[in-house]
Every structure is written in C-alpha cells, then in structure tokens.
A and B are shown apart, each in its own frame.
Chain A
Amino acid sequence: MANYRIHKTEYIDETKRVSFKYDGKTYFGYEGDTLASALLANGIHLVGRSFKYHRPRGIVSCGAEEPNAICQIGSKKDLTEPNVRATELELYEGLEASSQNCWPNVKFDIGGINNLISPLIPAGFYYKTFMWPKSFWKKVYEPLIRLSAGLGKSPTEPDPDIYDHKYVHYDVLVIGGGVSGIIAAKMAAKNNFKTLLVDDKKILGGSTIYQNNESIKIDDKLSSEWLKNEIQEIKKLSNLTIKTRTSIAAYHGYNFLLAKENLTDHLPEEKKKNKIRQRLWKIRAKKVVIATGSIERPLVFNNNDRPGILLSNSINKYLDYYGVTCGENIILFTNNDSAYETSISLHKKGIKNIIVDLRKSASSELIKQAESLGIKIYFNHVVTNTFGYRKINSLEIMKLSEDGNTTIGDKIKLSCDCLGMSGGWTPMVHMHTQSGGKLDFRDEDQVFLPKENSEDQISIGSCNGDFDLENIIDKTVNKINKFLYIDNQDYQDTNIICSKENDKRNIWLLPNKIPLGKTKCFVDFQNDSTAKDIKLALKEGFRSIEHVKRYTTTGMATDQGKLSNMHALGIIADTAGVKMGTLGTTTFRPPFTPLTFGTLVGRNVGKFFEVVRKTSMHEWHVKNNAEFENVGQWKRPWYYPKNRENMHDAVQRESKAARDSAGILDASTLGKIDIQGSDASEFLNRVYTNAWSKLAIGKCRYGLMLNEDGMVYDDGVTTRISENHYLMTTTTGGAANVLSKLEDYLQTEWPELDVYLTSVTDHYSTASICGPNSKKILNKLFPNLDLSDENFPHMSFKEDKLENINCRIMRISFTGEQSYEINIEAKYGHSLWKMCIEAGKEFNLTPYGTETMHLLRAEKGFIIVGQDTDGTMTPSDLQMDWIVSKKKFDFIGKRSLYRSDTVREDRKQLVGLLTDDPKEILEEGAQIVLDVKSKPIDMLGHVTSSYFSPNLNKSIALAVVRSGKTMKGQKLIIPMENKNINVTVSDTIFLDKENKRLNA
C-alpha cells in the first residue's frame, strides 16, 4: 500500500498508531490525524459520489467547508451519525466510517448513469422532470432520489449519549484562535476583561501555526514559532478561558451565542463511556470579537471536480501539519499568491510541482522565492480541462486573451496526480451577518466585508479582509485597543516581515473553447450544480440570488455553500451585467455547521423532556391502575380500568356509578386564583359577563369570561369567601393565561382598583364527590356539618375541619348530580382522598377520570371551553345568552357582542345531535352537511363532543352548526369515509333538564 506520509510533524504522534475502518476496510493512521488526513496518507482521494450525476468525488478541503468527504459514522442503530465531515473528524482507535453518498458502492454505482444522461438533468430538474404524474412522486421519484442520493441514515433508536448545557457570562468572547484571535484574547485578558477564547480545532493557532516560509517572520522568528510562544503566554492568563474543539453554532441578538464543545468525539469507544459527549454553551458576552478567518475559493473550470483536485492551501496543511502529501506530481492553479506558499512547501519536501497562474505576471517576495527555486510557472494561463476517472491524471491548459474572456493559442497537456486550486480567499462573515451586521463589497479582491455598525462586536483578521500577516497584526492591535477602550502596548515593537501581494486577477467562470453546455464546471460540489445551471436559471428569468439559489439548489446542501456562494454570485453578476456588490448575498443562517439533536436538547430527554405536574393524589391513581391523560403539563387520571376493561367499558361503568350512587374525581388541577381587595367585586363585574356585586358571602357562581373580541375565553365557578375575598376557578389548561390576562387589565387598564391576585392552584387539592349518595358520604366525613338543602344548598360554600385540618367545601356540580368539592391544603390531599374512598366504600364510591367527567357533563349539555369552543364562539352562539348581563354598563368583550358580525343569525351555534341509530357514535371533528348530492358540498359545521351515554342508553353529541339555533328537529347528514350517518338536531341538554338531580 502506498504511503503518502512523507515526513514527521509535531502534530502527528507516530508512536501512537490508530486503526480504523473505512468502507469496511481496515487502515492505519496516527493520533493527531483527521479521518481525511489518514485517508490521504493511505492514498485515498475518492470518498463519494456526487449528488445528482454520481460522479466520483474526492476530499477537497481540510475543514468545515468540505463538500464531498461526508461520512456516516458507526453502524449501531442508536449511535450512527450521518453528515460528518471527514476533514473535521479526529481519528480514534476503532473508528468506523463509510462514504455516504454512493450506492451500491463508491467504485461502481448505478447512479453514474446519470452522468451520461446529464443533459436531461438541468437546473430546476426537480421541478421540471419530476412534476407529473403526481402519483409518481411518492412511489417512484422520491424513493429513487433518496436511494441514489444517499443522504445518510438517521439513527433509529434513542441516542444513549449524554449531552450538557451550560450558561456562561463573559466580558469579551473571542471567536477563533488564529493569530488575530490570540492577540485579541491576550489584550483583553491582560486588561482585566473576563475573556473566553473558542476555537473549533484541537489546538490553537489557525493556519499560522504550521507556517514555515522563511520570507514570513515575526521578531526574527518563523511566524509559527512566534505564535507558539504567544499561545504559551496566554495559557498563563488567569482572566482567560480557552475552549478548543468548540465551534460557535449561532450568533443571536444581544450577543447571545451558542457554542458546541466536543468532549469525547475524538476518543476511542471505551473511553467515551459515561462521559458527556458534547456541551452546548449558552454564552452572553458584553463584547464579541470575531476572528473566524477566511476560506480558500475553488476555481470554476471544466471538470473541476475530479478526485485529486483540492484547495491549494489544504494541500499545504496536509503536508506541513499532517506530514501527508496529496500527490507526487502536483499542479497548482491559482489567481493569487497563496498557492506559492504551498508550492514552496512542496518543493522543500521534494514534491515536484508547477504553477498555472491566471495573472499576467506577479512580483511579490513569494513569487521571487518560487522563481529562484526553479519552480515552473505558467503565467496568463488557464486550466481548460482535466482527465482521469477515479483520480485526476492529467490536464490541459491554454493561454488567456488580453481581456481574459477567451483562450488563445495551443492546448498544453500536463500530467499530474493532484491539482491544487486557489481562487482567492473568502472572509468568513457568517458570524457578523448572523448577529445582524451588514456587509460591504470590496471590488479590488471581490470580497464581502463586515460593515462596522455596532459597539458590541467587531471582526478582525482575515474575516475582516486583512490577508497579510503585517496587516493582520497591526490592524488587530489598533482595532482591539479602540474596541475595548484600552491602550495596550504589547505589540508596539513587534517586527513583522512578510510578502505583500501586488497583483490580482479574478475570473468567476473561466473561459473555454468548448461551449458551456458541453462542460461540467461545478459551482456547488455537494449539490452538484454547475455554471451552466446558474446561467440557465438566469435565462429562464430568475434574477434574485435567493431564487437562483433555490432553483438550482446552489448553496443549499449541508455545507450551506461555503465554497460555492461567491462563484454563484459572481457568475450571476457577470451574466446579468451588474456589479457584484449590488446583488447582495444570500442569508447565512445558523447553525454554522450542523448540530446533533442531542446537543440541542441537552439533558431534557426522557423524564426531563417536559415539566410534569402531578396532584398530591397522584400516587393513589397510579396504584389503582389509572390510565393518564396529559392536560397541559398535568397528568390527569383518564379512566380507571378494572379487570382488563377497555376505555369504553371503564367509562360506561364509571359514569353509571356516578349517576346511580357516587363517583369521585380528582379536581385538583383546575386553576385556582385567590382574589382579594376592596374592589374585588367590581373587578369580577368587569371580567365576567354576569353580575357579581350581589353574590352573598358563602355563595358560588358560574362565570363566563370573554376576550375583548366577544369570544368565550374561559369559564369556572367563583366563590365569595368573605366580603373582599373570592376564590376563582379556571379551566385546567387556561389557568396561567387567565391569570396573565387578569393581571394585564389590573396593571394597565384599571390600576385604580384595589385588587390582588394570587395563583393558588398548587396550594390546594380538590376531591369532587358526586351522585345521589354523595351527601351520605359527606356526612360521614363531616358529621358536624349541617348538609341539609336549606343550610347548604346547591351553589354555596362552607368551611369545616377534617381531623383539625381546615377544608373548604363547595356544593357545585359539573355532572348534573348533587356534588361536593372538598378543598384542602395540598400536603393533606392524599390523606383526604383516602378518607373519602374509605367513607364511600359502602356506597360503591367509584373513582372516575376525565373521560367520564366529559361524558357526564355532555349529558347535561355543559360546555368545555376549548373543546366545544374554539375562540370563535360568543355566549349567544353557545345558547348561553342567560349569562350575559344586560344591565351592566361594561365588561370585557361586551361591546363586541353587538358588532355586525357577532349579531349575524347564521353564525355557527352550539346544538345537540342525536343519531338516528342510537348505537352509532359520531367522530369528534366530523363535518356536518344538509345534502350530500350538491357539489361542492356545503359544510354547515362539525361535531365537538360525542359519547355513548350509558345512562340514556344512546349516543349523544354536541356540535356547532350554522344557524343551529333555529334547526331543532332538522335532519342532517354526517358523511364519513364509508357511509353517511343520519342525525337529528336536538336540545343541548340530554338529561334532567329540570335539575331534579342537582337539588335532590
């Protein structure tokens, strides 16, 4: 096997050999490698197939911008992870990775046929080719695309790893630990700012850390040596926290940033165990310094996507940092000076290389150095084609015309086994724009630069468009001094010598004799879109960059167009004949690199997924076999199955028992608001539709609360406990919103009212006992309490003691039965419940859940806000005009009750429905029509509540129906998938219209 590791570096530990599997085959690398560097050391460039044409693709870069080397890690159902960039993945013993984008395998795959039929896959091919017939989408196109595109596999079982979240506050956050970030962090920390420096790599230093060109020196040392010394210095600073392997995922407003710290991804399997895998840092920083650097641009020419074609600077890093050469016969194709650094590095290690430069000439120190080393340079030349199927083996170059628009002269064919390309540098302005910053365009080298517009963030270094070392250091020092209002002199006497680039020439789409239609000039490698696609989109009338992007899918893959966006913009600008700066850019959205769901949710999994509220009786319900229903955050008993009953049977039994003898419900979850103050009565008058001033002390009243738009918002019973003291109950789900709404009116509209609101929902537990024998059970619990109807009638309130503990007892009913609600301090709730159950034994006191409660109230025609109402129902729509006071001058929502829309006769109104077949139970939500023959069918309304009533031995339902009030006796139809159900409109009250049971 070929070994491309040609020299030792301090970053690769050759004493620690690491074995790993790639596509099922075992290879070796060393500690310090990334998967990409280890593959290259083994001579492997081919790592996948392209998305649309299934062309062979190789490693292109050495960082987060990698479009091709996307892997699936591991194969375990719970731990496998897709979309991992091999260029960022640190190698560890036992790593198993496979190339993601190929099927059936990387060397031969069926999708390669797409390459041959590529004229049929133009821009917008999804929209054009796969449009019709519609039914083909689900069964033919989508599975095919998914299979052949191989977008990676999600784990199918829960993630067993531990993830963490941490909130931190800093004076200064520095993003990026390259030379400018290190200087900024040092200046900040030394001037008493509590500083955090984050970098996504394993070690600090950016690209300067492996810089070894003699022409670039700081204080007479190699820049890398000087920087290592700086790093040693900052590690001693007590004010500075350094986090490596930590990348900023999102930069939100008010300097709130999310950073992902990788803690164990680089460790072998057995060392990962029981450790936190990743930590999401939630950072608030007073000031943020962005030093995220820049990434090298590819060049757009025919067949620029073959394996073995990399970014020039990546070739340099693989060589000088990892000790790996990407080839033995390398050509560097460039439009700027940086490829010369790569060339000189390669030359020093004895790797044969030549340079093809778009520029007519160039004259910096670096170029002179290359020339003096005898490196062959073709100035004013362009690569027009490349050859080689699984790896590049040769290419063609031609001379450029004076204006750069065409090629001239003869083709020169050059052989090679690797091509480095450098189209200049793109500042990483993602963080700046995510924070809300705007961009300026610099024509000279065609870069978007951060526009300084805020006092709490700044960009420095090459992400700010400063590319040579002298510029970077001088400007960083000046800007940081100004930004932090300090006067740091540490770098005053630093002596920097570096090569200065003097010549530039940029051509977004390189010229070629071959017509564009017959070339493959890739712009976006990951989504396989070409220059031709972009031109076609323009031809078809797309103008906005956002539209072209979506139509061609350029920049829409997991790399978010880090390498492709600038070229797409450049080609659009050139084609449309507009200045590039005027086009704007596409939006950079978080996350900068993909995040796992685990990192986002942290510890909020399993039991901690959501807050759970339990009543103090909860344990009893669990012990007694209750099935639970979620109501908001509350766990409420739904029904209590006995002897393997199903829900229907349990509910039939529970509801029959409640009507025949006695039932008991845990009503603790109802919202409870304690209202006190000398204006409490007036306040209730204003918030409920009915009158409250005359409610006697010790009495209860049902109230309906509206929104200002006249629609029913909440309901519940409120009790007058003393002159200036009420206890309001709300629906379980509405408690928090009602309190907020009441506070809103009190604080903002009626601050003159002397009223205080306190939520006491959690402070009291409530057992509600109903049924003909409820009075007897109450008598056993409270023998001294006079329960006679004269002393304690329906809708009244008493206080008594249960073993010395005070209880508030309301005789109120949601079931239509005689019913008592016993409230006790929550800590005694469980005891209260057990005592009730004990006392009720001889009366077959049956615990019932929310389902039976719903059925019992439906028999009586009581509404449930949120089930029978949906924010569009007025009291009149609910046939509850009786509860709206005509006398009151005002209450919330009153004026809306006679707007032209709310007084319409043909609004949807609440009615009862009886099925012609009494055994037929309607589906809640089912549509109601008058006539199924006329098309389109006119929808009159829908079923809101539906049950089989064991007490009436028939099916009953509530529904909202247009003009329902006038329809009693009307036959209607409920069309279902297989049949039409005939129903008749009825009264909403199905049982005991005379309230005999209530007052019995």
Chain B
Amino acid sequence: MFLINCPFCGERDQSEFSSGGEAHIVRPKQPTELSDDEWAEYLFMRKNIKGIQFERWNHVHGCRKWFNVVRDTSNDKILSVYKMGEKPPVNYK
C-alpha cells in the first residue's frame, strides 16, 4: 500500500488515489492529420517499463488534482512527485 505525497495535500494512503498510467503522452494537436498508425501509437502504445517510470496519478478521493509521479516499478518506490505542467526531474532517465 503506497504512501503517496500529493503535491497539494501531502502524504496520503494509496486508497485515496487512482492511477492514470504513463505520463507525458501529449494528445496530438491535430488528430485529423494523423495516419491510423500514428493515431494508434498515441491511443494504444504504452512502454510498461520495469524500472523507472513516469506516471500520472489522481487524488480522486482528495483534492481531485492530477499530478505526476516517478516510480521504480521494480520495487514500487516513489522517487519524485511533481505537478502537471512541471518539467520531469532530470536526474531520472
């Protein structure tokens, strides 16, 4: 059971949050100009990394804010938390 440090509320139990999958996948500005393959790339393809992964979480039973999390999926340690729109920390790659 993770302890997640919501950037707006502080440390809360995992049960207050929902996971939103991989972060930094930007919705294409002009979807109509994309081929089926390019659109499918945005729509379906995810990295599913074992190791350091950037992902989105929503404090759904709290402040309802979405934010980003850097998590090592091999041991579930959360290494960093940052707000939407902020640049991902550079020391994790």
Interface residues, chain A, with chain B CB atoms under 8 Å away: 252-254, 256, 284, 436, 708-709, 740, 743-744, 747-749, 751, 889-890, 894-896, 899-900
Q: Does B92 contact A (CB under 8 A)?
A: no
A748 touches B56 (CB 8 A): yes
Partner of A899, one of B20, B32, B40, B64: B40
A387, B68: Cα distance in complex, Å: 67
Pairs A–B under 8 Å by Cβ, sample size 23: A254-B1, A254-B14, A256-B3, A436-B76, A709-B43, A743-B66, A747-B65, A747-B66, A751-B84, A751-B85, A889-B32, A890-B30, A890-B31, A890-B32, A894-B32, A895-B34, A895-B39, A896-B39, A896-B43, A899-B36, A899-B39, A899-B40, A900-B36
A896, B40: Cα distance in complex, Å: 9
Give chain B's interface residue range (CB within 8 Å of chain A). Answer: 20 to 34
Nearest A residue to B68 via CB reads: A748
Contact with A along B38-82 (1 / 0, CB 8 A): 011001000000000000101010001110000000011000000
Closest 9 CB pairs of A and B: A895-B31, A256-B1, A254-B3, A747-B66, A252-B1, A749-B27, A253-B76, A895-B39, A899-B36
Cβ contacts under 8 Å, A896 to chain B: 39, 43
A627, B28: Cα distance in complex, Å: 49
A708 touches B1 (CB 8 A): no
Task: Write the nearest CB–CB distance from A963 to chain B, whole angstroms.
Answer: 22
Counting chain B CB atoms within 10 Å of each CB, the highest count among A284, A436, A747, A890 belongs to A747
A743, B27: Cα distance in complex, Å: 15
Nearest A residue to B30 via CB reads: A890
Task: Write the nearest CB–CB distance from A88 to chain B, whole angstroms.
Answer: 27
Cβ contacts under 8 Å, B28 to chain A: 895
How many contacting A-B pairs (Cβ < 8 A)?
A: 54
Task: Write the nearest CB–CB distance from B27 to chain A, whole angstroms.
Answer: 5
A744 and B39 in contact, given A254-B2, A284-B3 (Cβ under 8 angstroms): no
A748 touches B84 (CB 8 A): yes
Cβ contacts under 8 Å, A889 to chain B: 32
B64 touches A743 (CB 8 A): yes
A744 touches B20 (CB 8 A): yes
Task: Write the nearest CB–CB distance from A438 to chain B, whole angstroms.
Answer: 10
A900, B56: Cα distance in complex, Å: 30
Task: Write the nearest CB–CB distance from B19 to chain A, whole angstroms.
Answer: 12
A743 touches B2 (CB 8 A): no
Cβ contacts under 8 Å, B31 to chain A: 890, 894-895
A253, B75: Cα distance in complex, Å: 9
Nearest B residue to A708 via CB reads: B43
A740 and B60 in contact, given A890-B32, A894-B32 (Cβ under 8 angstroms): yes
Nearest A residue to B74 via CB reads: A436
Task: Write the nearest CB–CB distance from A755 to chain B, whole angstroms.
Answer: 14
Nearest A residue to B56 via CB reads: A748
Cβ contacts under 8 Å, B40 to chain A: 899
Nearest A residue to B1 via CB reads: A256
Cβ contacts under 8 Å, A749 to chain B: 26-27
Partner of A740, one of B1, B34, B39, B58: B58
A709, B36: Cα distance in complex, Å: 12
A895 touches B84 (CB 8 A): no
A253 touches B43 (CB 8 A): no
Nearest B residue to A892 via CB reads: B27
Cβ contacts under 8 Å, B65 to chain A: 747
Cβ contacts under 8 Å, A751 to chain B: 84-85
Nearest B residue to A747 via CB reads: B66
Task: Write the nearest CB–CB distance from B77 to chain A, whole angstroms.
Answer: 9
Cβ contacts under 8 Å, A894 to chain B: 31-32
A149, B26: Cα distance in complex, Å: 59
A708, B36: Cα distance in complex, Å: 13
Cβ contacts under 8 Å, A890 to chain B: 30-32
A300, B87: Cα distance in complex, Å: 61
Nearest B residue to A890 via CB reads: B31
Starting from the known contacts A284-B3, A890-B30, 20 additional A-B residue pairs (CB-CB under 8 Å) come to A253-B76, A254-B2, A254-B76, A708-B27, A743-B58, A743-B64, A743-B66, A744-B66, A747-B65, A748-B56, A751-B84, A889-B32, A894-B31, A894-B32, A895-B31, A895-B39, A896-B39, A896-B43, A899-B39, A900-B36
